[in-house]
Structure 1
């Protein structure tokens, strides 16, 4: 029985070779035969793909090539190589599906002890994960009902606007926790027809729960660290909040009210701007005194959020809290930037008055205009004091712009970290480290031997390796009076770790315009406020799901059991 199956496998491989190469063209005097050996594509092992590959060749081509290689390149390439690769990946997939359905009708008693043990462990894993997920499901449903009850209050609306990033990440995380058993279901029949389709479907199916697991792991590490070191973290936060206020803001405002860096500023304007800034800082310091007593509770709340929802939710909350804590800096920057921008616009308009030009807002251009003498006199009287007061306003604007830009960069950095945590393909990285052959990118041929027989004298050529990475390298041979026998082995190129990860990271910055930094620099020069968010892409939110608890538990258990590896012990008996 085993010998017969082995012969069937050999015959199948031979047929696959003939199907792949389209064995040579028959003629009256000669025949060219190309035999290509390849490993049978199997799910979880290997398959073939003709995607673009830009790396160096796997083997070096000899300097002096035989004549038959030049004749090969002169032939027309096969146009259906994509269909041939698809047939190779589909043949074994269909065979495995058929054997699995036939073998499932046999009794369970034929399974080995190892298969029984694996099934028992998988059953225990399914029960434990289903129970844990159901507890989370009940907790999330309770929170959703509580928030729905108070959704019309102004507190809910204000907190949603103030902590917008945290709210979005909580929605993403809750959707992933609720919908992971549905996405884990294997309902795609098309993926079972081809090994390549099955690999892509499996990577898509396991991407969400792997991202959720890694995020929860990082959240638990950071959460327990915060719980065990809550007091030291509180002291560090207090120092971080007080030092910029006391050391930078107060000292900087007092320095600007004098003679900063030897520049002689307008004393009255500098005194007014400095006193307004110092009063705002003092009000913030008074309010921060009442926050000190709540800081320990906030740190513990961040730790609990990290343990329950992963690292991205507390990171988003930290970003929003930085914006709230540094509200006095952003407010002062907004006030100074408004004064600076209005002053710049007034000076530009008065300069156009002296040139006899006027801005046309309808056509967005400068037109000639004849001003009166009174307008020129009034313009001269306004232009002089505005120009003399510009250095004082510019110094204060530059100082608060530097402070506000530093805070914005910290918020952008946290935003990028959150998006990268969401976008990193953890399951692909693990599979690439374990089995790189599951990520093919192009094919190449290793020439084993070439036997050439002619009418006059035979010619035998044996080569170690000849690389042929492109799909146009496969040709048919038909030369009158000569026969060729070419034996080669089909190999695959593989993706690098960068080619796997970089496309996912590019998706993070698809919403970021290339002119973002240029527009930000122009906005700083003209007194416009720049955004504190970079606009990176986050996973899409999912609708809320509400089903009975028992049904959700069964759904989780069945989803994990559907991913149980198939034991094929009975197929070899």
Structure 2
């Protein structure tokens, strides 16, 4: 417990609990301004004036001093008692604790070294000319998988470095030590949760591979027959009572049906690989986590629906050029011309021949627009549905990466480690309100005040005493998660969504990815296997000693 004395015109006594690493500290970052205790019936004038003023920078210095004083004391005591702890090394509890941490460090270091050797093996094989073309082709086909595999590889390579306490300035301040601890624990906690989820999903797929295969076959058959083929035949007739151009609808429908049939035939011969594909997804989930297996699912869905993407791209090309031609011909009739440099419409005098040719082109293009539009709408809806599924999986991957699991666990067990602003709980306020235990303090304050009055010829005033407790507000779980999720969605804005929606009407393709932020990629690290094992082992032992 600490006591802070402020002597100006009044005597303020502020009582606070000394900040301790792993327990609590103070912070001026205000997240919630609502008070957590009942205010007194009548607030003092100085409290009312304090709320009207802007916060002073000196308050930050006071809070920093409070957080640093306890940290320095604990660090000094830890250094001073190093010789005394040698006598307890032979106690049974200390030996059991040391042995437990040594076994845990050995197991984790060995498993991390196994991952490290596998990752380095893949990296070395990809550099050989024999496997270079396989590496390049796989990076283009399995783009999402490679990105998440790179993220997972960097986490495995760098987690022992992040776990070590390299910031010496954090020792002198409890608040800095807490922030440094959260940063150290964020990498390994995210990796651990991802691996746990990957093992759960992977084991479920391994034990139910047959049922998953049969479900995929049935879904693919129903999707191809009931949606794609039936939809194309429906558009070739009279969809929803609209009379379309029979010849153009027949051409577009027959091309679509032929592409669907060719792709279905190819997948019939590749159906035997579905069993091994599911096993590969399960093994990737068990080995590298749920994010890598989910990214592989996105790439598999993208490759499996390649014929829909091709048909959508083709009909989008036809529809967009038709819209652009109609817009240009409409400007011709109005005597306008698009100026792409200035992004405006300028006046332009067209000849009679140009008007005649424009009229001859405008009429058939306008009459054929409904037929093109219904095929464009059909394949846009189908492609958007598939892209939405991939975006949902991508969103799940980003949520797994962005969620601060270490902070959530610490918040559940000790909310005091997440302060959000300070407030004062007033205990006493008035004239000469002193308990018997504060007699010494009254004598000291009276002696000091009398000496100051004699020096400066200040008239004697009756002392006022203010005794208050320094308290902290605490962050809620939503306030902890909000900054991480805001960073994840920083690349998405309302303007980009509006632009995409307008682009669909003009014949532009919808984006197939959300563009969410992932953990940053880091340079590749080469280190001997034995040195990496020692690095992992020492980082765990050192973190256990600091904790």
Measure how far apart 1:363 and its partner are: 2.3
Q: Is 1:339 matched up with 2:318?
A: yes
Q: Return the offset for 1:130.
A: 1.2
Check the 8 A contact 1:48/1:442 in 2, yes or no.
yes
Partner of 1:536: 516
Is 1:43 matched with 2:21? yes
The answer (yes or no) to whether the contact 1:151–1:157 under 8 Å persists in 2 is: no
Structure with the higher fraction of residues in helix conformation: 2
1:186-229, CA deviations, whole angstroms, 9 ceiling, x for partnerless residues? Answer: 12100001000000000000100000000000000000000000
Aligned to 2:479: 499
Listed as ranges, the gaps of 5+ residues in structure 1 are: 1-9, 26-30, 461-477, 568-573
1:434 is matched with 413
Q: Contact (CA 8 Å) 1:451, 1:459: kept in 2 or not?
A: no
Q: CA deviation at 1:146?
A: 1.4
In structure 1, the partner of 2:343 is 364
State the Cα deviation string for residues 375-418 of structure 1 (Å, max 9, x = none).
11111111111111111111111111100110111111111110
Change (3 A) 1:123 1:378: same
Q: Could you say if the C-alpha distance between residues 388 and 91 of structure 1 is closer, same or farther in structure 2, counting changes exceeding 3 Å?
A: same
* Structure 1 equivalent of residue 60 of structure 2: 82
Task: Give structure 2 stretches of 5+ with no counterpart.
Answer: 436-457
User: Does the CA contact (< 8 Å) of 2:149 and 2:292 recur in 1?
Assistant: yes
**1:482 to partner: Cα distance:** 2.0
| Count of aligned pairs between the two proteins | 524
My pick for the range that moved more, 510-519 or 547-556, is: 510-519
Secondary structure of the equivalent of 2:20?
Answer: coil
1:97 pairs with one of 49, 67, 75: 75
Query: Counterpart of 1:515 in 2: which secondary structure?
Result: helix
Render the CA deviation track for 1:428-487: whole Å, top value 9, x for unaligned. 00000000000001011111112314xxxx999xxxxxxxxxxxxxxxxx9952211111
> Could you say if the C-alpha distance between residues 227 and 352 of structure 1 is closer, same or farther in structure 2, counting changes exceeding 3 Å?
same
C-alpha displacement at 1:364, in angstroms?
2.0
CA distance in 2, matches of 1:70, 1:310: 55
Q: 2: distance between equivalents of 1:153 and 1:75? A: 67
> Which region of structure 1 is more displaced relative to structure 2, 238-247 or 281-290?
238-247
2:492–2:516 contact (8 Å) kept in structure 1: yes
2:7 pairs with one of 1, 4, 24: 24
Residue 42 of structure 1 aligns to a residue whose secondary structure is: coil
Structure 2 SS opposite 1:43: coil
Change (3 A) 1:509 1:150: farther
Match of 2:243 among 250, 264, 267: 264
The residue that corresponds to 2:31 in the other structure is 53
Using the TM superposition, give the Cα deviation of residue 514 of structure 1 relative to its aligned residue in structure 2, in angstroms. 2.6
Matched, 1:322 2:301: yes
Q: Which moved more, 1:35-44 or 1:444-453?
A: 444-453
Q: Which segment is superposed worse, 137-146 or 54-63?
A: 54-63
Structure-to-structure mapping, 1:286-435, within 5 angstroms:
286-435=265-414
Partners of 1:205 and 1:353 in 2: how far apart? 65
Which whole-Å CA distance do the structure 2 matches of 1:317 and 1:259 have between them? Answer: 40
1:543 & 1:240 partners in 2: Cα distance?
42
What residue number does 1:157 align with?
136
- Match runs of 1:427-506 below 5 Å: 427-453=406-432, 481-506=461-486
Asked if 1 retains the 8 angstrom alpha-carbon contact of 2:422 and 2:470, the reply is yes
Indicate the residue corresponding to 1:239 in structure 2. Answer: 218
**Local SS of the residue matching 1:35:** strand
TM-score where L is the length of structure 2: 0.92
Change (3 A) 1:374 1:480: farther
Q: How large is the RMSD of aligned CA atoms in angstroms?
A: 2.1
- Matches of 2:275 and 2:254 in 1, distance apart? 33
How far residue 75 of structure 1 moved from its aligned partner, in angstroms, is 9.4
* Mean CA deviation greater in 259-268 or 149-158: 149-158
Could you tell me which of 479, 485, 489 is aligned with 1:509? 489
Deviates more, 1:349-358 or 1:312-321: 349-358
Q: Which moved more, 1:231-240 or 1:436-445?
A: 231-240
Comparing 148-157 with 256-265, greater Cα deviation is found at: 148-157
- Report what 2:253 is aligned to: 274
Q: Give per-residue Cα distances to partners, 1:10-43, cap 9 Å, x unaligned.
A: 7xx34xx23xxxx213xxxxx7321111101000
Change (3 A) 1:66 1:566: closer
Distance, in Å, in 2 between the alignment partners of 1:108 and 1:344 is 83
Q: Take 2:32 and 2:180, find their aligned partners in 1: how far apart are those partners?
A: 25
1:116 is displaced (CA, Å) by 2.6
Matched, 1:139 2:122: no
